[in-house]
Amino acid sequence: MRFGNVVKVVLAVSLGSMAWAMPVSAQEGYPMGPGDSLTVSFLSNSEFDRTVTIGADGSIFLPLLGEMNVQGQTINELRQQIPILMTGSVFRERVNGESLLVSVEPQEVMVEVAEYRPIFVDGSVNRPGQQQFSVGMTARQAIAAAEGLKNEGQSALNSAEVRNHPQVLMAELVGVLAEIAVYESILAGSEVIDISELEALDARPDLIQGAIALARSQISTSADILNEELSFLDRSVEDAEARVIAALRREETMAEIAATEEAEVTRVENLVARRIVSSELLTQSRRLYLQAIERLGSVQADRLQAEAVRRELVLERNQSARERALETQARLQQLSQEASQLRVRIDLTSAAPVTLDQDDTTTGAPQIVVFRQVGGQAQEIAARPETQLFPGDVVNVSISN
């Protein structure tokens, strides 16, 4: 079974969210709710892997566990709770044509967020409606995703202006450089990230510090996942080597027994030739010798099979490491190109870009209100463009004239 795919998916989701630089505490403390999707993966048996969406009543249905209510719980709480609840569950697995009962261990169950529920933007935007939520998304980015503010009065602000605003481009560059630092650390096999390029940026300190904190969290999590995968493969190789050694010892023992029986046949043949013993004893000796030869052949077949399994596991372990390195290098090259393009776009932006700051008192400044469900209660929040959003938020934008 290939376990690299599970880790790749989990890693892709984790690193893909870094571009918006959401603080770790906010992400971990977010209460899951209807519309959010979770991925539950089983390292020991991928056929039970599921991506489930939380229903309107806050429940999900999981294999081996059934229906459970997860509304209001954070992803970290679910990572601890679901594996414990599944511990001891038994499923049937076929191995070499035999049906075996296998129990679930907590370390074999992984829980990650597959997709958050969308947000909604309405009011004075060019494309109101549902928007896909990204971790760390701000009100400014939601307005940009809604193709910018409507052209009303003197506050004409289109989506192109928002997307090319130096602060927006700088936020994207911070996220890309943080992701590059994570992948470089993974490729080097280190949990220490190089933050020199991030610190050298002329960006807001809180934006940089948030990206660094998230990157450090992600490299730690990614290292744990990858080490767990490699440890599993290493243990599998060690178990296979132990089976080979045991088979060799059995083969040596059976070879000695066969040699002893062969010598016994020769001795009895001499005694029969001298008419000291009957031919019946010779027949019995030959039967024992043939049985020893047959058992020796069976043990040799077991040893050859154990060696074949060991070679296959060694190849799988090495192939997994090579694939991970190649994919990491490809992603690094892609991110480097994105970073270069962002630097050029920042240099080419206007020296006097349009601002979206809430405290701008000029005519046409956008007023942003976020409606959010917290603990079953609706809250109305007076927001700024840099206010971070949560899944399910409704963002209302109006322009004062």
Per-residue pLDDT of the chain (401 residues; tens, 9 = 90+): 333 333 333 333 333 333 333 444 444 567 888 889 999 888 777 777 889 999 888 899 887 778 889 888 888 888 888 888 877 666 666 656 665 566 677 777 888 888 888 999 998 888 899 988 888 889 899 998 888 887 644 344 455 556 677 788 888 888 899 889 888 888 887 878 888 888 888 888 888 888 888 888 887 777 667 667 677 778 888 888 999 999 899 999 999 999 999 999 999 999 988 888 888 998 999 999 999 999 999 999 999 998 999 898 888 888 877 887 888 888 888 888 888 888 888 777 644 444 444 444 444 567 899 988 776 677 888 888 888 888 888 999 987 65
> What are the phi and psi torsion angles at 233 (to 5°)?
-65, -40
Q: Is the pTM of this model over 0.75?
A: no
Please tell me the total count of domains within the chain: 3
Q: Please report, for the domain that includes residue 381, its CATH number.
A: 3.10.560.10
For residue 343, being part of any structural domain is answered with no
SS3 125: strand
For residue 222, being part of any structural domain is answered with no
Q: Please report, for the domain that includes residue 60, its CATH number.
A: 3.30.1950.10
| Full residue range of the structural domain in which residue 127 is found | 117-161+357-401
For residue 290, being part of any structural domain is answered with yes
Q: Which of 277, 304, 322 is the last residue of a domain?
A: 322
Quick one: which of 133, 135, 120, 143 has its CA closest to 372? 120
Residues 57, 95 share a domain = yes
What stretches of 49-178 adopt beta strand conformation (E)? Answer: 50-53, 59-62, 66-69, 90-95, 98-103, 109-115, 119-123, 129-131
Residues 102, 50 share a domain = yes
Given a contact cutoff of 8 angstroms between Cβ atoms, the answer to whether 289 and 282 are in contact is no
> What are the phi and psi torsion angles at 122 (to 5°)?
-140, 175
Residues 122, 89 share a domain = no
Q: Which of 47, 81, 115 is the last residue of a domain?
A: 115
For residue 192, being part of any structural domain is answered with no
